[in-house]
């Protein structure tokens, strides 16, 4: 739940035409100007989390985040640097909430993608 002060700040920015993303301390997306309903994108799903993703080979990129699906225990996307990258993350083929049936070729590709993304988790 967002505080009244936070809601007022969000309204102020949105009235100025600036998009807002609010991420809670637990990594959940609390608010996005792009909307959070309908599960069209991963960041609108209840299984979505943003977790730290520091690059061990880059000392200056310690604030990176990674998009994670807790339902599938998979990393959807890594090396996210700015809040604008946290939103509108498209669902991967292996998402159980994709909303359509996959062809045989898509199913095989989705299985391979899921295997790789689970290894990254």
- Identify which of 78, 74, 79 has the alpha carbon closest to the alpha carbon of residue 93: 74
Spacing of C-alpha 5 from chain mean position: 25
* The Cα angle at residue 48 between residues 78 and 7, in degrees rounded to 5: 110
Query: Beta strand pairing status for 48-52 and 29-32?
Result: unpaired
The string of DSSP codes covering 50-73 is EEE---TT-TT-TT-EEEEETTTT
What residues does each domain of the chain span?
21-120
pTM attached to this predicted model: 0.64
Token pair of 37 as six digits:
């309903």
* pLDDT digits 0-9 by tens, 48-71: 888 888 777 766 667 788 899 988
**36, pLDDT greater than 50:** no
């Amino acid at each position: 739940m967002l505080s009244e002060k936070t809601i007022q700040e969000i309204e102020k920015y949105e009235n100025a035409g600036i998009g807002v993303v609010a991420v809670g301390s637990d990594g959940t997306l609390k608010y996005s100007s792009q909307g959070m309903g309908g599960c069209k994108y991963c960041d609108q799903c209840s299984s979505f989390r943003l977790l730290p993703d520091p690059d061990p080979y880059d000392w200056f990129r310690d604030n990176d985040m990674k998009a994670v699906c807790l339902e599938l225990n998979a990393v959807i996307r890594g090396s996210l640097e700015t809040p604008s990258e946290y939103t509108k993350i498209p669902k991967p083929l292996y998402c159980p909430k994709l909303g359509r049936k996959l062809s045989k070729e898509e199913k095989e590709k989705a299985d391979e993608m899921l295997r790789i993304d689970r290894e990254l988790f």
